[in-house]
Amino acid sequence: MLDEYRTKSYQAHLRPAVDENLIKDNVAIIGIGQTAFSRNSQRDELDLACEAIKNAVDDAGLSISDIDGLEALTLDRVSMPTLIGSLGIPNLRFTSEVSFGGGGACATVMHAAAAVATGLADYVVCYRSLNEASGHRYGRGDGYAEYLSKAPTLHYGYYFPYGFLTPLAWAGMYARRWMHEYGIKLDNTGWYSLVLREYAQKNPNAIFYGKPMTYQDYLDAPMIVEPLRLFDCCVDTDGAVALVVTTADRARDAKQSPAYIMAAAQSIPIETEIQTSYNRPIVSGLPETWYVGQELYRISGLGPGDIDVAELYDPFSFGGIIQLEELGFCGRGEGVDFCEGGDRIRVDGELPLNTAGGLLSEAYIHGFNLIAEAVRQLRGTATSQVAGAETALVTAGPGLPTSGLILRK
Amino acid sequence: MTSSYDPTRDVPRPARWEVLYRSSGPFWDGVASGKLLLQRCASCARWLTPPRPMCPGCQSREHEWVQSTGRGTVHSFATYRHAPHPAFPAPHSVVLVELEEGPRLVSSLVGIAPENIAVGQAVEVVFTHAADDFTLFQFKPAA
Amino acid sequence: MTLEYVPGIPILGPYVDPDNAPFWEAVERHEFVLQRCADCKTYFQVPRPMCPHCRSMDSLEWVPSTGRGKIFSYVNFTTDRMAYPAMKIPYSVVLVELEEGIRLTANIVDVEPEDVFIGMPVEVTFNKPTDSFTLYQFKKAS
Ligand SMILES: [Zn+2]
Ligand SMILES: [Zn+2]
């Protein structure tokens, strides 16, 4: 696959036929729910998960006893049996967990979709609950080392002894190489973060609601790990998001307008490490995101020009910008120019992007909040509503095994 | 009364963050002050054991804490013949107590030889200071 | 600038397993070796039990590296946020493309963070920051 990526020669004929895809147009997200997003909830993940799931089930017009499947990330700290016991789900028939942190966000929906499309379950809830801000922090060196030391992951032993042990720094290595290869100047990279902060000013649930930012604020903020500044980074959050997935047949009776899944895809190329794939030929790009994009376009029959709104997983601004390139919204190395001045990615621009504020300015719920926002856009209920939005593309964590979705009205 | 733990060893205790939990914090706070508190749904009066943030019967997030009489019966029990942890020398009996109110709790039984424990036996709660900052609830044969 | 550590905070050690043990044992002897498939001559990092190219499991060998290469990318830790507390800031982590073609990360010593650049020729050096293990590092090529 890395050869396909390097030569940009995606070989569609090698892939499973579209007309055999049981998910396409046959599955929908019919409920979304979340908690408040905060920096210090003093609530545990179980509590947050219960609230978000109840809200999602209410939103779908269902009752808890209708739910017969649960889907989470392996990273989630909520014990599934305890969760089931708290919610009072009488008979759960399907559970599954997806690995790879935020890279698995859209894959949870894909796996839930596979379950309902094949009759293993009727209504599957995908959820993510975190108290990153007040509890368990992944982003900090000591916390990350503690977390990873429990799950021996071979390659990290080559990085930790050198004080190189946080996702931010690992991503910085990609960012530096990308800037080098495409001549990108450090001080030109702020528009992406700036526009997302603008969206957050319209979204009362956003962590950065009521905290606008100027370009000078962006430049004045400290470097955290060169070349990444403070406002290139996502915002540690306490909160939870849940989604209800069912078949299109059942979705027709739903309380809300369904968001149908046109395509769902996952990708893990060879020589992939979790955010540190430095022995792939190209370090300045994201082959898994490129591949997921190609698959989403092939299965949906859409192209980049058909996407009305994009919700791209952006743990760091560069991660979002490089995805614009990999998904074909602009050429390679042109992502910074694409965002220049911000108009293209604003709500009335050619590609409204991360319209609730994204992971940088709304909340970091491992991308589940991006899926919820895509659903709101298709329902017409977003705080920065894209006029007539009919299609939405959502991605998951970049630089690690990843996943993506194209949803439609 | 014999003690079923070795006071010179640290007793494993609920993780610090668990104590912070909205759901189980009041339970352990109660134990620290010599009370056995049970969580009950404020909406449908269902007992919630172990404590949890949502009632599985009615999905209410409101609950109240009710003091138990601390009396109950042995519903089942198991006896370690090899110490499971340095703080609990063998033989060490673990009991499942069904309280008068209905909920069941796992605990240890003190003041009785393992071979004399019987299912159905009446027991009552006792509180043991396991460390300066940690109290354990245990059970003993009812007076 | 030499790389400095903060006393009293443990430096995280390598995660040594049966596949990579020969690498770290060599580092202890101040030798720098790379894993290679003797059948198809492919080098790979991280060490593993099977050649990902020809799937051979019984012809993997350890060969000495020249230890020379060029900086392919790098990050600088200039504030204590996100830096590991055992290491005094500023410090750099460099991704080095070795002459053999594979890439490894490590600290660079005796070079100020602002003087690091992509393409800089470097060579391997060894350092024993604690009694319990030796680390490979890079320095400017002589
Ligand atoms: Zn209730
Ligand atoms: Zn080979």
Residue among A145, A223, A279 whose CB faces C78 most closely: A223
Between C121 and A101, where is the model more confident? C121
Is the model's pLDDT at B86 over the cut of 90?
no
Least confident range from A132-136, A383-387, B31-35, B90-94: namely A132-136
Backbone CA torsion sign across A124, A103, A38, A341: negative
Which of B49, B59, B60, B61 to probe by mutation at the A interface, max A CB count within 10 Å? Answer: B59
Nearest CA in chain A to B24: A44
**Do B53 and A46 lie within an 8 Å CB cutoff?**
yes
Q: Measured between alpha carbons, how far is B44 from A27 in angstroms, rounded to an integer?
A: 36
Q: Measured between alpha carbons, how far is A131 from A40 in angstroms, rounded to an integer?
A: 8
| Catalytic status, residue A313 | yes
Is the model's pLDDT at B14 over the cut of 80?
no
Q: How confident is the model at residue A310 (pLDDT cuts 50, 70, 90)?
A: very high
Distance B39 CA to ligand 1 centre (A): 11
Burial of A199 (0-12, 13-18, 19+ CB in 10 A): buried
Q: How confident is the model at residue A238 (pLDDT cuts 50, 70, 90)?
A: very high
Q: Which structure tokens are listed for A327?
A: 């998904």
Q: Is the peptide bond before A386 cis (omega within 30 degrees of 0)?
A: no
Q: How confident is the model at residue C100 (pLDDT cuts 50, 70, 90)?
A: very high
Tokens 């009205």 belong to residue:
A409
Q: Give residues with Cβ within 8 angstroms of C96, minimum separation 6.
A: C69, C70, C71, C72, C103, C104, C105, C106, C122, C138
Which of A180, A274, A278 to probe by mutation at the C interface, max C CB count within 10 Å? Answer: A278
Average pLDDT taken over every residue of chain A? 93
Q: How confident is the model at residue A40 (pLDDT cuts 50, 70, 90)?
A: confident
In chain B, the N- to C-terminal Cα span, in Å, equals 13
**Do B22 and A44 lie within an 8 Å CB cutoff?**
yes
Residue among C73, C91, C135 whose CB faces A283 most closely: C73
Average pLDDT over residues A297-320: 97
Of A95-104, C5-14, C76-85, which has the strongest mean pLDDT?
Answer: A95-104
| Catalytic status, residue A364 | yes
Q: How confident is the model at residue A41 (pLDDT cuts 50, 70, 90)?
A: confident
pLDDT at B15: 57
Q: Which structure tokens are listed for A10?
A: 């995606």
pLDDT at A137: 56
Nearest CA in chain B to A90: B56
Q: Measured between alpha carbons, how far is A227 from C113 in angstroms, rounded to an integer?
A: 12
Size of interface A-B (CB pairs under 8 A): 49
Least confident range from A49-63, A216-230, A254-268, B85-99: namely B85-99
Is the model's pLDDT at A292 over the cut of 60?
yes
Q: Where exactly does CATH 2.40.50.840 map onto chain B? A: 69-143
Query: What are B41-62's pLDDT values in tens digits?
Result: 999 999 998 888 899 999 999 9
Q: How confident is the model at residue A296 (pLDDT cuts 50, 70, 90)?
A: very high
Scan residues 123-152 of A and list those with Cβ closer than 8 Å to C.
Answer: 139-142, 145, 152
Q: How confident is the model at residue C95 (pLDDT cuts 50, 70, 90)?
A: very high
DSSP C5-61: B-TTSPPPPP---TTTHHHHHHHHTT--EEEEETTT--EESS--SS-TTT--SS-EE
Distance C126 CA to ligand 2 centre (A): 29
Scan residues 63-122 of B and list those with Cβ closer than 8 Å to A.
Answer: none
pLDDT at A151: 43
Q: Which domains does chain C have, with CATH numbers?
A: 15-65 (no CATH), 66-142 (2.40.50.840)
Q: Measured between alpha carbons, how far is A290 from A278 in angstroms, rounded to an integer?
A: 17
Query: What are A108-165's pLDDT values in tens digits?
Result: 999 999 999 999 999 999 999 998 766 655 555 555 555 555 444 557 778 888 888 8
Nearest CA in chain A to C135: A161
Collapsing DSSP to helix, strand or coil, A237 comes out as coil
Q: Measured between alpha carbons, how far is A113 from A24 in angstroms, rounded to an integer?
A: 9
Q: Measured between alpha carbons, how far is C84 from A82 in angstroms, rounded to an integer?
A: 35
pLDDT at A141: 53
Is the model's pLDDT at B64 over the cut of 70?
yes
Which of C6, C15, C25, C138 to probe by mutation at the A interface, max A CB count within 10 Å? Answer: C15
Query: What are A357-402's pLDDT values in tens digits?
Result: 999 999 999 999 999 999 999 999 999 999 999 999 999 999 999 9
Average pLDDT over residues A186-205: 96
Average pLDDT over residues A243-270: 96
> Percent of chain B at pLDDT above 90?
55
**Rounded to two decimals, what is the model's pTM?**
0.91
Partners for A (CB, 8 Å, 3+ pairs)?
B, C
Q: Measured between alpha carbons, how far is A387 from A109 in angstroms, rounded to an integer?
A: 26
From the options 3.40.50.2300, 2.40.50.840, 1.20.120.80, 1.10.1740.10, give the CATH code of B69-143. 2.40.50.840
Q: What are the residue ranges of helices labelled H in A206-343?
A: 215-220, 248-251, 287-300, 317-326, 335-339
Q: Are A69 and A112 spatial neighbours (Cβ–Cβ below 8 Å)?
A: yes
Tokens 């060029």 belong to residue:
C70
Measured CA to CA in angstroms, residue B69 lies from A240, B36, B124 at distances of 37, 8, 8
Q: Measured between alpha carbons, how far is B29 from B13 in angstroms, rounded to an integer?
A: 13
Other CB atoms within a 10 A radius of the CB of residue C85 amount to 15
> Is C109 an 8 Å CB contact of chain A?
no
Q: Is the peptide bond before C47 cis (omega within 30 degrees of 0)?
A: no
For the CA atoms of A166, A168, A169, A171, the dihedral, rounded to the nearest 10 degrees, stands at 120
What is the interface pTM, i.e. ipTM, of the complex?
0.88
Q: Measured between alpha carbons, how far is A346 from A312 in angstroms, rounded to an integer?
A: 14
Instruction: Report the amino acid identity of residue A135.
Output: G
Q: Are A372 and A405 spatial neighbours (Cβ–Cβ below 8 Å)?
A: no
The per-type count for chain A, helices as H runs and strands as E runs, is: 13, 11
At least 3 CB pairs under 8 A between chains C and B: no
Chain C residues close to A159, C-beta within 8 Å: 93, 105
pLDDT at A150: 47
pLDDT at A154: 59
> Is B21 an 8 Å CB contact of chain A?
yes
